[in-house]
């Protein structure tokens, strides 16, 4: 597995920070207020389609300027040239991680990676495999045979062969992916819930510690932090839980 010494993660004084706070706010002002409360040395942040469509690159730049590692979660899926250009534009914003759909195929994945590798520093490039909202019947309906799990492993293999840095996956899939692709392949998992938090609309959840033991590198956590009365207290509780995972198990 290749290493990427040029990726722009080094600004973190705590590179081991595993928590990515999902800034899922329709209101850019609320997202900015949360950024002002969070500490970029303790967590990273994720900006997705809704917030980006409302607030645009300006908010991404503001987060980067505030020293946050930003995961720009726009799940690019288009022809290779278009996706490569979109990834390059994301890199121009200074984001730490960007993602594409593995279902865009090998040429699209390779084009994205190759375009980013032309840069002196580049974001991590990861792939979405099968959206966790899709069940076997949905895959059937779009003409994809096999179980979701088989497709996740197949598409993760495609991303791995194309030289991507990792995938977004459910924590339930993390151990199988870790066994198949080793420690150099980054596993980013949403669907994480501290034991004390409600699951909301997430169906297949794991606690932060269990997700890390299963092989997750980065934990995308939204509402357990952003909807808490005291977001920083909620973040500290998750950090304390993660500190209980022995290093060997934390990979």
Q: Is 49 a catalytic residue?
A: no
Report the distance separating Cα 4 and Cα 247, nearest Å: 22
Site stretch for ligand C5P (CB under 6 A), options 9-17, 118-126, 159-167, 216-224: 216-224
Answer yes or no whether residue 190 interacts with ligand C5P by CB under 6 A: yes
Cβ-Cβ contacts under 8 Å for 104 (sequence gap 6 or more): 76, 77, 78, 80, 83
Give me the catalytic one of 11, 49, 75, 203: 75
Give kind and range of the element (H or E) at residue 240.
helix 231-243
Cβ-Cβ contacts under 8 Å for 46 (sequence gap 6 or more): 20, 21, 22, 23, 70, 71, 73, 220, 222
The count of chain residues that interact with ligand C5P, using the rule CB under 6 A, is: 14
Task: Give the x/- contact pattern for ligand C5P in 8-47, rule: CB under 6 A.
Answer: --------------x-x-----------------------
Instruction: Let me know: does 52 contact 80? Beta carbons within 8 Å.
Output: no
Site stretch for ligand C5P (CB under 6 A), options 61-69, 85-93, 159-167, 221-229: 221-229
Per CB under 6 A, which of residues 118..157 are in contact with ligand C5P?
Answer: 131-132
Q: Which active-site residues does the annotation give?
A: 75
In the complex, the residues that contact ligand C5P under the rule CB under 6 A are 22, 24, 48, 131-132, 168, 190-191, 200, 202, 220-223
């Amino acid at each position: 597995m290749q290493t990427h010494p040029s990726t722009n993660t080094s600004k973190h004084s705590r590179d081991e920070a595993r928590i990515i706070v999902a800034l899922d706010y329709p209101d850019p002002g609320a997202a900015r207020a949360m950024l002002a409360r969070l500490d970029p040395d303790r967590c990273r942040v994720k900006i997705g389609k809704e917030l980006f469509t409302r607030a645009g690159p300006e908010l991404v730049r503001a987060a980067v300027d505030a020293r946050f590692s930003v995961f720009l979660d726009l799940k690019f899926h288009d022809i290779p040239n278009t996706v490569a250009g979109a990834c390059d534009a994301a890199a121009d914003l200074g984001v730490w991680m960007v993602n594409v759909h593995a279902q865009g195929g090998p040429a699209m994945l390779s084009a994205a990676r190759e375009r980013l590798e032309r840069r002196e520093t580049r974001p991590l490039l990861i792939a979405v495999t099968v959206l966790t909202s899709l069940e076997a019947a949905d895959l059937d309906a779009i003409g994809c045979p096999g179980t979701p799990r088989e497709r996740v492993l197949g598409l993760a293999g495609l991303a791995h062969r194309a030289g991507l840095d990792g995938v977004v996956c459910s924590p339930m899939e993390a151990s199988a992916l870790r066994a198949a692709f080793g420690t150099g392949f980054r596993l980013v998992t949403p669907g994480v819930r501290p034991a004390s938090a409600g699951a909301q609309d997430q169906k297949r959840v794991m606690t932060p510690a269990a997700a890390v033991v299963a092989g997750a590198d980065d934990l995308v956590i939204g509402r357990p932090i952003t909807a808490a009365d005291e977001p920083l207290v909620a973040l500290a509780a998750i950090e304390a839980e993660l500190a209980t995972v022995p290093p060997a198990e934390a990979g």
